[in-house]
Amino acid sequence: MPKVAYSEEEREQIRARLIDAGLELISKQGVQRTTVEQIYRKVGISRTFFYTFFSSKEDLIVETLYLQQPRIIEYARSLMADPALSWREAVERFLHSCFYGEKSGIATLSLEDQQRIFRHLSAKNDRIFRQRQTWLFEQLLDCFGIAAERQHIQLLTNLVLSVLIIRKAVPDSLPFLVPEAIDEAVEFQTRAIADYLESLRPKETPV
């Protein structure tokens, strides 16, 4: 007979597996191509049981993004600690990995994904989401050796997310942009963001 009762510990383990499976699928194939069915089948549970953990796909997506945040920070730290990379090379490699998340295993949201999740969030959860997002970029600035002042966090957030949105939106959502030049545009924007971050680094005191 199928098991009908689970302990709290078992439920927490299943919930964690669902979030992990969701992140794995979304990072590879994107939010829109990832279905609830793919996620619960990967974990080995039923659709009905899935919805005892999450009321919607959007709820799960938000949790996968929270799970990913410390992994992103750890990745940034590993690049900054790589003796084979200069400071700028490490920053640009990190940004490039984020902008092409589907190639590097980082889940990113399209314009449509963001709109869908925003409409789904309650006012309380929207505040939590923004706090977590601010924390992520604060930690990234710290990884880069830059004082995490509020205006720097806010600007870096907008710069990074705008590149992500534009690259994923061409050509379907932004048909008048030139698809053939989008990679070159991303490279230009990557260098520009690195220039901005470098201007924030503490100046070395002459000996």
pLDDT tens track for 138-185: 999 999 999 999 999 999 999 999 999 999 999 999 999 999 999 999
- In angstroms, how far is CA 43 from the centroid of its own chain? 22
At residue 6, the pLDDT reads 87
> CA 164 to CA 186: how far, in whole Å?
9
Query: What CATH number labels 56-200?
Result: 1.10.357
Contacts within 8 Å (CB) and 24+ apart, 153-157: 155/196, 156/193, 156/196, 156/197, 157/133
pLDDT tens track for 39-94: 999 999 999 999 999 999 999 999 999 999 999 999 999 999 999 999 999 999 99
Model's pTM, two decimal places? Answer: 0.91
> Please, what sign has the CA dihedral across residues 103, 109, 110, 112?
positive
